[in-house]
Each structure stands twice: as C-alpha cells, then as structure tokens.
Structure 1
Amino acid sequence: MSEFRLPSLGADMKDATLREWFVEPGDTVTKGDSIAAVETDKGIIDIEVFESGTVKEILVQPDEKVPVGTVLATIRSGGKTQGHAEPRKAGVSEDKQAPPEDMPRALNIQPPPGGERKRISPAARKRARELSVDPENIVGTGPGGAVTLEDVASSAGPAAPTGTVAGTAEKQAEAAASSMRRAIAAAVVRSNREIPHYYLSTSIDLTPALTWLEQQNAERPLPLRLVYAILLLKAVAGALQKVPEMNGFFMDDAAQVKDDVHVGVAISLRSGGLLVPTLRDVHRKNPDELMAEFSDLVNRARSGHLRGSELQDATITVTSLGEQGVDTVFPIIYPPQLAIVGFGSIVERVRPVNRAPQVRRVINASLAADHRASDGHRGALFLAEIDRLLQEPERL
C-alpha cells in the first residue's frame, strides 16, 4: 500500500486546494497517470502518480486546502492500467524514475477514456453543478476551448443570472492574479535576501542566426516554422556544456552542478502574472523538437493546463522581454537555481564587419548568477560562448 501525497510544485509552495479527482476508489492507474487537479498560486495543476496500482481510498475531497505532503489518497500497488487511466502520451519518457519518498513531485496530464478531459475552471465547474448543467455538453469559448463561467451561464438558459456570473468571473481572475503576484513577490524577496547576485551583459550580433532562420522557414509550412527563441535556448544549453557552473542548484550550503540541462522558460499570462514551466533535456533535442514542446507549453500555460512536473526541476531559467521593447533585462535568480539569462529586444545597430560599417540585428544578453557557485570571469566566458554559438546557427 502506498500513499499519494500532495507534491511540492516549487520552493515557495506551502499548500494547495484540491479541486478535482479524475479517478474513484477501485480505478486502476499506472505510473505517470494524472489523477487529480490542485489549485496553487500558479494556477490549476494536474498531479500524477509514480507507481501503478489500484486506488483504494480518497482522503481529501474537492475544495479542501491542505499543506504540501498531505496524503491525498492511498493506492494498492500492482496491476495494469484499465479503468479511468490512459497510457502515457507519446513523447513522454516511460523510464523516468520515481522520486524518493521524501521528495514528492508532480506529474503528467492524461485524458479520461474517450478523449481529452474537458477544460473547465473550478469556479465554472461549481457553477455548472449549481445550475444542473453537465460540463461535458458545454462548448468552451475560453483559451484552448476551456469552459468559462459565461459559457456555463449561456448553456443554462436565460434564467441564469449572467450578470452575476460575469462579475464573479472577473473577481476570480483578479484574485488569481493577485495571489500569483504575492507568490512571485515572495520568491523575489527570498532570492534577494539569500543569493549574492552578480550581473553581466553583452551585445550579440544575431544577424547570422536570423538569416539562417529566415532561410529555413522559407522552406517550411507555417506550422513547422521556428521562432528565434528556440535558437537562444539552444545556445544557452550549449554554453552550459562549456561553463557548467551556471547549471544546477544551491542546496545544503553547496552548489550542486547538474549535467542535464532543463531550462525554465518564463511565460507571461494574459490575465497577469508569470509561470516558468520547464523544457527538459534542451541540450539533447534539435530545434524542431524544442519548437513543438515550446509551443505546447506556452499554449497550455496560458490556458491553465500545465502538468505539475513541468513546473519542477529547471536547472536554469531564461526570460525575454523583447516583445515589450526592452533593450536589456536584469533578471533575478529563481531559488535554488544558480543563474538566470535574460534577452532583450532585437534592434538594428551599425557595427564594423570586415572593417566596414554595416547595419546588423543585435540583441542584448544578460546574466544574473550566484557568486557562491561562480564568478564574473566564468560568467563572461558563458556569455561569450552563447555569442559564439549564435554565429553558427546551423550547428545548434
């Protein structure tokens, strides 16, 4: 018999509210199945099991708020997937080891039998119950087809108090954004208090990379085209192979440098706030693989359907404010990581090329790193390696 506990989805997470179970007692599950959704300051997150078995007992009911580590359910070990659980989606590794018992972690989204699970916020689901409306029969108009409070009201007919529902939706969105802002502020305060930052920045000629990218995209159909952010991610991952001190965590009073590169990508949300899901093994994947995963992460982050495991294990973070017209970003390290890289806008600058002035497309790259794990000399080498790699985009 094993215990399914509420995992920690970040260093700043203390508790969460269980919103929905995807299984019932007696259902069989397999390692990697998503069996519940919880609400944290980061939004609604699906959490998984790390071993196969049969659900014996559910101990926490929807809308209950519990601390990290709370036993949510018990699972009788053994058995194959039948019941509600689906096989792991293609592209997700089956050989990922379960974490130690004292390090609970989160997991993958899995659809229920017969197709993808209906996307619906807890408030909309609760309102549907109040109005005796089946959410599965509602056509969602929210991001990614999510069912909103307004969709529930429309499906219930003219008798539903739509004005009140709309007001509730607006208030809930404001509350969620406020909660996320508080969580971000807490992480920033901790970072400034505990981590001795040093900052470096450099200007990189992105013309070769962008020219190569434009040539590649000209030969591709629209769905397969790449964005330049993928080249930046690959360059960061490549530079970490040469300067590994930036990749890992500071824990137990020591820097723990990692070989695998899992990049946290900062994604701004339309409703306000920020999420930093993880692109795993960036150093091992080609640009096409990363583009598919990156697009999927952005879409699901903004529609509120990230997997819990996608908010964990990032060994470094990359953030960009280029779309907002910012020249240089001076980011703050997300603890317990060792570094964060920022990219600004692409701008045109006159630069000497073969002793002749040319207009080049340039981007500023900045580094904030933990002085306990590296120094300015190593940081400078790291930025220089990013620059060098971007001059040879065909090799990324």
Structure 2
Amino acid sequence: MIEFTMPALGADMDEGTLDEWLIKPGDTVTRGQIVAVVETTKAAVEIECWHEGVVNELLVPVGQTVAVGAPLATLAEPGEAVPPRTASPAATPVAAAPTEPRTVAQPSVIAAPIGHRLWVSPVARRTAAALNVDLKAVAGTGPQGAITLSDVEHAAATRHHAEPKPAAAAAPAASSEPKSAAEKAKERGAAMRASIAAAMSRSKREIPHYYLADEVVLDTALAWLTEQNMNRPITERLLPAVLQLKAVALAAQRFTEFSGFWRDEGYEPHPAVHVGVAISLRGGGLVAPAIHDVAEKKLDELMADLTDLVARARAGSLRSSEMSDPTITVTNLGDKGVDSVFGVIYPPQVAIVGFGRPAQRVIVVDGGIRVATTVQASLAADHRASDGHRGALFLAEVNRLLQQPDEL
C-alpha cells in the first residue's frame, strides 16, 4: 500500500488546506496526474501524484488544514488487491459513493470538466464557498480568464438582487457577513509576508552567501532579438528574459554546483536544470515557480512557458512540481528601474541569479570608448557548495552565452 502525503511546496510552507479532491476511491492514478488542489499562503496549488495505483482511501476531508508530510490518501500498487475500506471520522466527508465522484468538493464549488480546470485565486475560492457561489457560473476577468475575488463578489451581489430574500430570513445572515475584500487581502498579505520572512530568515541564518556581479553588453543580443521578432505577431515575440533564462540554464548545466539542493547529507546536484522564476504578485509578495528543463527547450517554447507561468502565478493557480522543483532561481528587477539586484537564496537551493535594468552606459572596448546597452548580472551562491572562483566562471559563461544568442 502506498501512502500519498502532503508534499513540501517550498521552504516557506509548513501546511496547506485541502480545497478539492479530483479523485475518488477506486480511481486509477497515473504518474504526474493532478489529484487535488491545496491552498497555501501564496496560491492554490494543483497537487500531482508521482505514484501509480488505485485509490484506496481519501484520508483528509475538503477544508482541512494538513501539515507537510501528513498522509492524504492511500493507494494500492498495480496488481495489489484493494482491501475493504472502513469509514473513519477524517475520511467520512470525502468517502462518497462511487457514482457521485464530485461529492468530495464543497457544495458551492462545482468541479470543472475533465481536462479543464477553473483558475481561481485562493481568496476567491474561499469567498465563493462562504457565499455559496457556483464558480462554474462566474465569468473570470483575471489573467487568461482567472476568477478573482471581485468576480465572486459581483456574482454574489447580482444573485442577491435577482433573488431577494424575505426580511425575516435575511436578518440572521447579517451577523455572518463575509469579511471585506480589503480585510481578506490584508490577512492574506500578512500570511504571505510571514511565510517569506520565515524562509528568508532561514536562508540568511543557515546559508553562507557570497556575491558576485558582472556587466553584460546586450547590443548583440538585442539586435538578434529585433531581427527574430521582425516578422512575428506581438503575442509571439521573444523577450530578453528568455535569453537570460536559457543562458543561466546552459551555464548551470556546465557548472553543476549551482543547480541542485543542499540537504543534511551535503550538496546534491540535480541532473536537470529547472529554473525558478521570481514573479511579483499583484496583491503583494512573490512566488518563484519552476520552468522545467530550461536548458533543453527552444526559445519559442520557453517564451510560451514563461507567459503561461506568469499568468497562472498571478491567478493563484500553480502545480506542486512547479513549486517544489526549482534547482536555481532567476530574479529580474530591471522593469522596476534598479541597476542591480543581489538576491537571497531560496533553500534548499544553492544559487540565485539576478538581472537589473538594461541601460545605455559608457564602456571601454579594445582601448576605445563607446556607448552600449548593458545589464548588471549578479550571483548569490552558497559557499558550502561552491567558491568565488567557480562562481566567477559561471557568471562569465552566462555573459558569453548572451553575446552569442545563436547558441541559445
């Protein structure tokens, strides 16, 4: 029997709240299948199962908060006989009859059809449950049709005016009015800041950081991008950010001490380079989910992945592997007007690369002075896994690759 547990979705996650089960007892589960939705302080995360088997029992009801590592369900391995299930207090709310696969969800949230999931921000999902709003009937106005808090509140207000309740029935409900959007946003922001504070405090307390920086001339890369984008529609144009991601991934492939994890046993390089992308959220805070196998992807595919990831991150809909798999992180604050950024490593990773604002600057080339567009690239690395000499070579490789965009 396989025990499926609550995954760790980052150093700043100790627990999560089960929002939705997407499986039921008796279902066959395949590797990589999304089986549940868990709400964290940063997003509603789609949880993938990396086992194969038949669902034996769902151990946690919808709405319950569960610690990382706690069992969520049990699976029978392929070929293993499924033992008779007995009801337990924890599983009773979700142990529905096989003919009613969606009874595991809260009554106010109707599951999307197979193959399509609604993108709903966590606070919107909670508010919909409180107001008994059917999310399938709500038109999302967020990125790529995501349902936001204002969409849910608008739907609730519209329904209230369309179906007025008698005064006697409405009076008791007044005492249970949901919190305002501002109050919910403030609470969520405070929880996210507490999570970030815990992770970053741990990082600075446990990781001996060292910092390096290099000035990268972008003239060649920008000219190459202009040529590549000339005949592309606006929605398919490449951004400088994809060149930076690909250059970092290829350099990390060569210098493996910057892409991996520091565990209790020491440094563990990872065979693939999954780049975490630092994304600021509109309500405050940030997440850094992964784009997988960046070194192996073509730039067009990488651009599409980046666009999709940013939209889903800001809609509060990410996958568990995106939150747990980054092997190195890239942060780019150039659009905020800063010349350089020196990041804090996100444990258990061992490096973070930063890019500042591209700007025209005076540089010396072959003894002559000229004006060029440059950007400051920085590296914050874990001195337990590498030293400054290797860090300098790593940054130099990133610089070299950005001078030769045809190699990316």
Normalising TM by the smaller chain, what interval? Answer: 0.7 to 0.9
Task: Go from structure 1 to structure 2 and tell me whether the alpha carbon gap of 1:132 and 1:15 turns closer, same or farther (over 3 Å shift).
Answer: closer
Normalising by structure 2, we get a TM-score of: 0.83
Distance 2:113 2:31 in 1: 17
Q: Deviations over 1:203-249 (max 9, x none)?
A: 11111111101110112122221110111111112222333222222
What is the Cα deviation at residue 126 of structure 1?
5.2
Of 288, 297, 309 in structure 2, the residue corresponding to residue 276 of structure 1 is 288
Query: Within 5 A, what are the aligned runs for 1:243-392?
Result: 243-392=255-404
Give 2:184's aligned residue.
172
Distance 2:188 2:37 in 1: 16
Of 187, 208, 216 in structure 2, the residue corresponding to residue 204 of structure 1 is 216
For the residue of structure 2 that corresponds to 1:368, the secondary structure is: strand
Task: Go from structure 1 to structure 2 and tell me whether the alpha carbon gap of 1:138 and 1:155 turns closer, same or farther (over 3 Å shift).
Answer: farther
Distance 1:126 1:266 in 2: 26
**1:134 maps onto 2:106 in alignment:** no
Distance 2:326 2:374 in 1: 28
What is the Cα deviation at residue 36 of structure 1?
1.2
Of 217, 223, 230 in structure 1, the residue corresponding to residue 235 of structure 2 is 223
For the residue of structure 2 that corresponds to 1:63, the secondary structure is: coil
Of 171, 194, 200 in structure 2, the residue corresponding to residue 188 of structure 1 is 200
Distance 1:353 1:245 in 2: 32
Q: Which amino acid aligns with 1:134?
A: D
Larger Rg: 2
What is the Cα deviation at residue 374 of structure 1?
1.6
Give 2:24's aligned residue.
24
Q: Deviations over 1:25-71 (max 9, x none)?
A: 34443322212111112221111222344333222112211211222
Q: Which amino acid aligns with 1:62?
A: V
Q: How many residues align?
A: 369
Task: Go from structure 1 to structure 2 and tell me whether the alpha carbon gap of 1:369 and 1:325 turns closer, same or farther (over 3 Å shift).
Answer: same
Q: Say whether the 8 Å CA contact 1:12–1:186 is kept in structure 2.
A: yes
Query: Within 5 A, what are the aligned runs for 1:52-91?
Result: 52-78=52-78
Q: Say whether the 8 Å CA contact 2:43–2:122 is kept in structure 1.
A: no
Distance 2:272 2:326 in 1: 10
Q: Deviations over 1:9-31 (max 9, x none)?
A: 12332211111222333444332
For the residue of structure 2 that corresponds to 1:157, the secondary structure is: helix
Task: Go from structure 1 to structure 2 and tell me whether the alpha carbon gap of 1:24 and 1:253 turns closer, same or farther (over 3 Å shift).
Answer: closer
Q: Say whether the 8 Å CA contact 2:121–2:317 is kept in structure 1.
A: no
Distance 2:78 2:406 in 1: 47
Q: Say whether the 8 Å CA contact 1:191–1:332 is kept in structure 2.
A: yes
> Structure 2 stretches of 5 or more lacking a match?
80-97, 102-110
Task: Go from structure 1 to structure 2 and tell me whether the alpha carbon gap of 1:286 and 1:196 turns closer, same or farther (over 3 Å shift).
Answer: same
Task: Go from structure 1 to structure 2 and tell me whether the alpha carbon gap of 1:121 and 1:155 turns closer, same or farther (over 3 Å shift).
Answer: farther
> Structure 1 stretches of 5 or more lacking a match?
86-110
What is the Cα deviation at residue 300 of structure 1?
0.5
Give 1:99's aligned residue.
none
Task: Go from structure 1 to structure 2 and tell me whether the alpha carbon gap of 1:289 and 1:143 turns closer, same or farther (over 3 Å shift).
Answer: closer
Give 1:96's aligned residue.
none
Q: Which amino acid aligns with 1:236?
A: V
Query: Within 5 A, what are the aligned runs for 1:108-127?
Result: 112-113=112-113, 115-121=115-121, 124-125=124-125, 127=127
Task: Go from structure 1 to structure 2 and tell me whether the alpha carbon gap of 1:35 and 1:384 turns closer, same or farther (over 3 Å shift).
Answer: same
Task: Go from structure 1 to structure 2 and tell me whether the alpha carbon gap of 1:283 and 1:132 turns closer, same or farther (over 3 Å shift).
Answer: closer
For the residue of structure 1 that corresponds to 2:356, the secondary structure is: strand
What is the Cα deviation at residue 312 of structure 1?
1.4
Give 2:249's aligned residue.
237
Task: Go from structure 1 to structure 2 and tell me whether the alpha carbon gap of 1:334 and 1:193 turns closer, same or farther (over 3 Å shift).
Answer: same
**1:153 maps onto 2:156 in alignment:** yes
Task: Go from structure 1 to structure 2 and tell me whether the alpha carbon gap of 1:134 and 1:331 turns closer, same or farther (over 3 Å shift).
Answer: closer
Q: Deviations over 1:295-352 (max 9, x none)?
A: 1111100101100110112221111111110111111111121211111000101223
Q: Deviations over 1:105-146 (max 9, x none)?
A: xxxxxx953552223345544554555543212222234323
For the residue of structure 1 that corresponds to 2:63, the secondary structure is: coil
Q: Say whether the 8 Å CA contact 1:322–1:343 is kept in structure 2.
A: yes
For the residue of structure 2 that corresponds to 1:289, the secondary structure is: helix
Q: Say whether the 8 Å CA contact 1:141–1:151 is kept in structure 2.
A: no
For the residue of structure 1 that corresponds to 2:343, the secondary structure is: coil
Give 1:97's aligned residue.
none
Give 2:33's aligned residue.
33
Q: Deviations over 1:234-276 (max 9, x none)?
A: 1112222333222222222422223421111111101111101
Distance 2:317 2:230 in 1: 32
Give 1:44's aligned residue.
44
Over the matched positions of the two proteins, sequence identity in percent amounts to 51
Distance 1:137 1:195 in 2: 48
Normalising by structure 1, we get a TM-score of: 0.85
